Structure 1
Amino acid sequence: MTQIKFTLNMEDLKEEVMNSGLDAVIKSSLVLVLNEYMEKERDEYMESKSYERVGNRKDYRNGYYERDFTVAVGKLSLKVPRTRNGDFSTTLFEKYQRSDQALVLSMLEMVVNGVSTRKVTKIVEQLCGESVSKSMVSSLTVKLDPIVKAWAERPLNIMYYKYIFVDAMYIKVREHNKVVSKAVYIAVGVNEKNKREIIGLSVNHAETKAGWTQFFDQLKARGLQSPRLVISDAHEGLKNAIKDSFIATSWQRCTFHFKWNIVDRMPKKNSIEAKEMLKRMFDAPSPEEARKLKGEFIQAYENEKGYEKAIEVLDEGFEDAIQFLDEPIENRIKIRTTNNLERLNVEIRRRERVIRIFPNTQSALRLIGAVLIDYEKTLDQGNRKYLP
């Protein structure tokens, strides 16, 4: 196998690229090295050097053809050797194919991390000295489709997910020459190893009972079993879909949002003590103690002006908001709210703000799926567990 050893100072090359374009001398030197590499490859294939006469000749040299070749440091014009019967082929481009793939992956990574296609084209032009159209960058992201599809459709019957957090957010999508709002459904499960996984992603027209039922049906078709708890906000359609979709599953209303719903209906002034009572209620060690504190709260404020609506909200949603108290005490603080989804939503929003309007539903699934795959790697890394 032909081997040519050479060392290049990549930092100097990068500096040349970023400051003033690739220096002609460095560029020419690289062309000479690569041309020589291919020439040696042809000599090895021929088993003879140029103008060397040998018996049992394998083939005949047949000049060169020119080819432009873009690598990470710029565009090079190379002279590619050829033979008369056409059987010889240099391995140079095959070896550098990984570099081309790395460039494509870098472009994809920039897009996934929220860099606009316009900025990506400028970065690539700076690195390679070649312009890349926005449509090319967009078309490259299609390479994410099989990756996202395999992740989004992976089987869920190899693990039991005892707790599932679900939420929906809205994005803008262009559809039939109009810009419409669409709901992005997301599910995060806590598996039997007490680690979190993002187990579901779907884009639908709106957050409705039918939409949530369809989402849960997709999860069950992949093997999801009924969990102990589903934790979510109090969207009416979602509540009904949970009840209809899962057997013997309890619904845990997010206590963070529930408490804010109550506080929002309290008087703005002189309510510090009431807020403290509310906090103690949801920090209670048992359902019985929580119900006792609820009774004390109602007794203390039912005749107070401005608390009527707050008491009504508390009474209506209280039992759904204390389902976590029937779970092991060490798990409770992590399963009573959907706060662990908030960071995930922030990550999606950070990328989505760059795009603003997705050109179609598939592009939304592609990008959000790629973001979630990337984000999932940060969940409960190594020996860390979400639940003790």
Structure 2
Amino acid sequence: MALSQHDLLRLLESLRSADGLELVREVAERLLQELIEAEATTKIGAEWGEHSETRTTWRNGHREKTVTTQAGDLELAIPKLRAGSFFPSLLERRRRIDQALYAVIMEAYVHGVSTRSVDDLVKALGSDTGISKSEVSRICAELDDQLDAFRTRPLDHIRFPYLFLDATYVKARVDHRIVSQAVVIATGVTQDGGREVVGVMVGDSETEAFWTQFLRHLRERGLSAMPFG
């Protein structure tokens, strides 16, 4: 599934509650750090502690760098080398970083990230280092695990007297065709006014069966004080 940049950024706006935006920040920080480490490995010619004939130098710690994005400040660590210098090409084209990075994160959130989407991110950010397919696959798997844990997390930690439901239609690529898909979002509101994104689901259309499936999924995860049976 591949959503348009415009639609993905609309989904980002939907996640701007405290918990949703923090998730985006954490995933963005983790994704960039993983890509930076992979690029450094390519430049060095070897993994951490690996003995390889292609090795050109050794790692020598990290230096901190803060990258400001729409989701907040990302605290990154730039590898230092014993010989020569390294600065990730991923951070050189800052004008495109938010759009490309959030596109990957939002796609991962609603439907699972693909190796192609991460490849596209690397290219969009201007990296020509040729990060290996195995590295991209590993990063995708770790992102899927982190986002799946958020999507399926238990909701019995607090009661939500109010539940706001919203839906939008976005264009998505499914089986090599561009089709319209329904994205439904549930935001719970606590007694003291706190807001939390409690669920997101993608389907073919806003049918009664689809809404029922979505709401039952929320209840199965422990959502309480809801007005449906």
Q: TM-score, normalised by structure 1?
A: 0.30
Higher relative CO (CA 8 A, sep ≥ 6), structure 1 or 2? Answer: 2
Give the number of the structure whose residues are more often strand, by fraction. Answer: 2
Give the number of the structure whose residues are more often helix, by fraction. Answer: 1
Q: TM-score, normalised by structure 2?
A: 0.48
